[in-house]
Structure 1
């Protein structure tokens, strides 16, 4: 099987698209409507495990997740969204455009760097898809996320 150009670019960054994560509740990882794929929120699970849990703060003090670690976790979420997209369209080279990214950050009450956290995902999409990876985005701070993860990302792409 040949590797897509998108996956080759990710490989050049030392990254791979994982197998799609098994949903933890009553939903599917992604659905197609028209020429768009909508992913469910993807959390930073790798090989069935979480590297970090808890709220994000600037420094990661007092048992919180640091800004830099949260940025890395947003990248993991982005890879998981790509796995969800791939699971319904088969080949990431079919993505014409990353349309919208929505990210949720479990935030310590004083933390206001949600946009910085989501740059981890946004920059990955830009490197993977080039010009087609430039997108609209929302970065939202929340009190808590499922399974106490620090970040969750959902994605909308147009495909052909």
Structure 2
């Protein structure tokens, strides 16, 4: 089953690539690696949620926002390489979580992105990861995710 077929089976659709909000491009390929810019939880041109984890945003909402970020990252990867089947492996995922100072469950938020990548890409979706708390993110979104993928 191709990753695109797996997305359909999961009831998901790749969105249009999120337009950059500043001076950068959504993804860059160098050799057999593709680096995505930070992907935020934009749905139909608007943030799906705003605020900080542990304050205005629950852990469950943060997990869902990380899934949206990963889906947006897959859209950026596909736009760069043409076909998600060309992904050999997701090498690294970095998850930034806008956090209230008392919030310490950044890894649980990051699982939203990691688990989506595993569901869609299977073994190729297993990756190294960092999940860090930050004071604020662009557009006041709660989560931002970067992907590094090895491609054929």
Query: How much does 1:90 deviate?
Result: 0.5
Answering whether residue 13 of structure 2 is matched by residue 16 of structure 1, we say yes
Q: What pairs with 1:4-153 in structure 2 (closer than 5 Å)?
A: 5-57=2-54, 64-153=56-145
Q: 3-state SS of the aligned residue for 1:104?
A: strand
Contact persistence 2:63–2:108 (CA under 8 A): yes
Query: How much does 1:100 deviate?
Result: 0.2
Q: Which runs of 5+ in 2 are unaligned?
A: none
Whole-Å separation in 2 of the counterparts to 1:100 and 1:23: 21
Q: 3-state SS of the aligned residue for 2:121?
A: helix
Whole-Å separation in 2 of the counterparts to 1:82 and 1:97: 12
Query: How much does 1:5 deviate?
Result: 1.1
CA displacement, residues 47-89 of structure 1 (integer Å, 9 cap, x when unaligned):
01122101011xx5xxx10000010000000000001111110
Count of residues paired in the alignment? 152
Contact persistence 2:66–2:110 (CA under 8 A): yes
Structure 1 stretches of 4+ moved >2 Å: none
Normalising by structure 2, report the TM-score: 0.98
Whole-Å separation in 2 of the counterparts to 1:111 and 1:8: 37
Supply the RMSD in Å over aligned alpha carbons: 1.0
